Each structure stands twice: as structure tokens, then as C-alpha cells.
Structure 1
Amino acid sequence: MRFAPLFAAFAFAGVLAPAHGLVHSPWDNRPVTLSNVATNCPTQPDLPADLITDGFYRKDDPTHSIVDPVLMKAYTESSGPVKNATHVIVDMADRFRTTGSREAAQCTLKLLAQMARNNTMAGHMSSQQAYYVQGWLAGAMAVAYLKVRNSGFDTPQQAQAIATWLGKLGDSTRAYYEAQEKKRPEQNNHLYWAGTEIAGIAAVANRPDLLDWALATYKNGDDQIQPDGVLPLEMARGQRALHYHLYALTPLVFLAEFGEANGKDLYAANDHALARLVALCVHGLSDPSLFEERTKVKQEVPKNASGDDAWWTKPYAARFPSPAISAITEHADTLSSFYLGGLPPE
């Protein structure tokens, strides 16, 4: 398989096994001052191991950019319960990071432990979309755990149960994408988002093998960045080509930050290819003409980039200061990206 040589290319020569034995995350070594801020921890339903859901784009649309309202309704109803439960966990983790609330950290751990007990999403995945949802939500919950794991409130038994359960979800995602890779070696943003999930789980479960796999997904995307910053597979997305370039950029920056946390400079890879993608996206937000020339259709351009389109700006600008990027940060309604576990590192 093509991922095997990529593992070798990202061998860490000992960096993956630091002295205290942990795979690092960008939230490590960022202590939070505990507080008594009150937090209501909602009761959550027990959710099943199997996930039965399907996609929501029109079946006759080759660009996969036009939503079918009927399919979207079915998707929302079928994936809603587990998505809603994950939203609560992500919100609790960010409440802890922003307020230091002891109760918020305890709530995050309690709800994650409940998911682990129920083996939620670790069973049958009914479709390609189900695998996507499994990966997105597992990644979000892994980051939520990383945000609270140094709070001092989890027990060894609880930590082991959560790590084992998330490890199962990570192995499921890896197996799915390795099967897809046999059909098409170059994959689009879905692969990089899977990489974010696997990176988070690698840090939760202390699995260097998963971190290697996650960073290999970064290389898959980074190698596709053209001299002008274009990602060809995302440019094929019609009216949403700009959106999908931003949607690909966010997980790539997330993965680069995991590389930095573990002693690997992915930002410099492929002659600083990621910087070319950044420049293209930043320019495209104010002038989408290149995207419109390539796709032959008018682009969907957000008034202000936010959430998934803006999460990357804070960690990237912290390393590579830029007034244009800082302006995106300042005008964003939020920097929180649900599938990346909420807010970026402080």
C-alpha cells in the first residue's frame, strides 16, 4: 500500500517516543488555572455502537456540491443524536479551557466515559457517509479529551477505557481509508480530516503508529499542492471550490501543529507548499477570480470566514505573523471548528 512508504518518510528517529512516553498534542504544556465556575452537566442518552446514516448531496451532481433537501433531512435525523451528544462534550471541554471550571472538566470526562461504556460508533457503519461521521466525531471527542486530560480529574481506569474505545474508532477509520486508497491513491479533504481524527486519538491512546498514519495523510495533501497553491481535487468542486480549499487547509494546519508538537516541521515540507495554499485561500477570500476562471462558475464566498474556514488562522499566524491572516481571525464570528474539537490551541 502507498501509505507504507509514507510511514518510512515520516519516521521520527526517536521523536515519537519522548522521555515520558507520550505522543504529544498542541494542548499539552498549556496549563489551565482551575476555578469554581458553575457548570450544568446535562444527562445524555446512551447511544448505540452502530451508525446508520447516508450522504446528502444530489446523486446526479458530479461535483458533490449541490445539497438534496430530502437527503439532508434524513441525514440530519439519523446522525443528529450522536452529533448533538458530541457537541455537548466539545462545548464542555472548551468551557474548561476558557474558564478553568472544575465541573466542566468533570462533565467532559463523565460523558466521554459514558460513550466508551456504550461502545458508541464502534460497531457497523452503514455507508461511506457513516464512516465520515464516525471519523469527524471521534476526532472531535479525542481533542475534547486532550483539552481536559491534564485537569487531574480522570481516574486511570477512566483514561484507559476512553483510550481503548477511541483507539477502536481510529483503527476503523484507518482501515476504511486504506481500502479507499487502493482504489484512488490521491484523496481529497476527507483524508486530511481523517488524519486529524487519527492524530488526536494517537495522543489520547499513546499510539505512535496512529500518529505516523496521520502525518502520512498530511503528506498526501501537501504533495498535491500546485505551484500556484491549487489543490486539483478541491478545484473540481464547482461553485464551492474556494470553500473546499479552505476546508482542506484547516485540517492540514491542524496536522502541521501536531507535527510541531512531536518535533516534526511539516510546514517546511515540499518547499513550504502549505504556505502556497494559505496565500491562495487568503487572496481568494477577497478576490475569487482565479477560482471562477478555473471552475467557470461564480464562487460561494463568505462575508467573513468563520469556524471551519478560520480555525487555522490562529495557530498559523502565531508562527507566521500576517496582518491579512490576523484580520480573518478578528472578523470571524467564531474560531471554533466542531470536528476539530472546538477552539484552536490558546
Structure 2
Amino acid sequence: MNWQQLVENRHKFFWILQIAGWIGYALVNYIGSKVFEMRDIYIFVIILNAYAGCLMTIPLRYLYRKIWNAKPLILVGVVFGASYLVGTLWSVVQKFNLWEIYRHGYRPSEWFYYFQQGLDAVYIVLCWSGLYFGVKYYQLLQSEKQKALKANTMAHEAQLKMLRYQLNPHFLFNTLNAISTLVLVEENKNANTMVSRLSDFLRYTLNTDPIKKVPLEQEIHALMLYLEIEKVRFEDRLTVLVDISPDANKALVPSLILQPLIENSIKYAIATLEQGGTITIKAQVFANELLLEVTDNGPGADLHEGDLIKLSGVGLANTKDRLKTLYDNNYSFVLSKNEPTGLKINIRVPYERAKKDV
């Protein structure tokens, strides 16, 4: 059991602190008895006093739990009253132990001896009460902190799922339109092939946890499933070049992070060129960072400071939002002009290697 689990287990934490605290009280008194050269029999008085203090403060725990939600004035009044009562009773036990065991029935003649020892006991019980409330508030603070972290994590995961699943209807809309067009022109064989490959791709998306990252080679495999769908539509007009380094292949990336970028290139570059075009996908690892690059040779786009002037659709915006959610500010997503024509998309994220090869 680690420290956090111990703090959260309030019952066990109380008893550990209670016993340890009173053992500490006994040790301090024992050291003091050695300094003042008390006789060895005084150790029995110390043990009895600590034991009595431990037992008599236990009911305070249950009393304080009962009045925990009371008004501040009532709470303070009860704490001081209860501490005074328990402290006074404890001082009586201390006097009895001291006079009967150590001094063999001795009674002091001056009244202030009674009063002084009684106040000392009250101060110690007040300290016990203060520590009890301090620990209690600390436990509540840790509990609220854990709840806040859990709520933040759940919100974070929900946002990621929303962004990932937002791609599915967007992609489905475009693909089903293409299938519908093939059916209308009576290219039933191609339409059937497209439906079959769409089924394989959707099976992959449904079996992949939108929260977890996947190795890049698995992402490329899913991308190839998607590109097979598009090649049914574009045939020889679509050329895809892939250049992935071995280290980059094992890098962890958000699932389906490249698909909307390729879809964007196909929609705004390949589809606009009569002779078709080429999409190039590159990935490498440099300085413990994964560098991804997607380029096309289409007509390009109007850019300003690494972003589109007019951002239409959800693909690029969705990808940028997912990167922001996953990596905070530790990423880059930059659009630039490809030479001689087209659009280039560069992504930089921290390099995380997959634990197991796929």
C-alpha cells in the first residue's frame, strides 16, 4: 500500500497516526526523564499516561465526526469544551499514576500543582484536536484533488473520442457518395469492391481504441485500407509513395491521424487534376521527435503563417485539435507550399516507441 492509498483509507490512517503519535509522546517524556535523572520506575508512569491519553482521545474522533458540518462557532466551542474536559480527566489519571506509583501516595500541599498539570494536559489534547482536523482537511483536499483529476481525465478522453469519431461520418459521407455514383453509372463491380474495402476499413476503426496510440506501421496499414477504397474511384490517377524509417515505423501515434490529411489531399488535389497526382508520405525520427510529412502535387492552397486562410471541412481542423488535446503545446502542425506545386503538411510530436512490435 503506497502513501496515497494509505491517506485515502481514513480508518487505517487514523489508527496509524494515533498509535504513532502517542508512542512519540511517550518517547519524548522518556528522554525528558533521563535529562532530569528520574528513577527507572518512572517509565511505567510514562507508559500508563500515554496509554490513558490514547484511549481518552479516541471518543473525540467520533464526536468531531458528528459535528463536522456544524457552524464554525459551534464547532470551535465543542472542540475547546471537549478538549478541556478530556484534558482535565487525563490530568487526573496522570496525577494518580505519578503520586501512587512513583511517589507512593504523596500529595502536594500547594494548589497550583494541580492547576499547572491540568493545563498541560488540556494543551496536549487541544494539539491532538488541531492535528485531527488538519489531517481530516488534508484527506478531503486529496480526495477532491483526485475527483478533479478523474473528471479532467474523463473530459479529456471524451473530447478525444468525439474528435476521433467525428472522422467516421465525414469519411463515410464522401465514400458513400462515391459508391452511389458508381452504382448510377452501372459500375457495379467497382461499387462492390469499394463496399467490401469500406467494410474492412470500418472494422479496423471500430476495433481501435480512440484513446490509445498505435504504432505508425499499424496506422500505415489502416491508411492503405483507406487508399484501396480511393483507388477504386481514381484507378491509375492516384499514386501514393511511402517512405518510413524503421524507427519511425515503431513510433506511437494517435489512431487515424494521417487518414484525414490524405483525404484532404485527395479531395482538393488529386480530384482536381485530370491526369491525376501523387501523394507522398514520409516519417523519420530526429532528436527524439517523430517527424511526419504529407505532400501532394495539386494546385496548392492560400496560406498564412503555416495555416490555411480559409479552412473548410473538418479533416485538418480535427487533426489539429486532436494533437492539441493529446500533446498540449508539445507539437507542431504546419502547412506550407510544396515545390513545384501542391501542399505540404508537417507534423512534429514527441517520439514514443511501441513496447511490442506489431
Q: Which category of TM-score, normalised to the shorter sequence, fits these structures?
A: under 0.3
Greater Rg by CA: 2
Structure-1-length-normalised TM-score: 0.23
Write 1 or 2 for the structure with the bigger share of strand: 2
Structure-2-length-normalised TM-score: 0.22
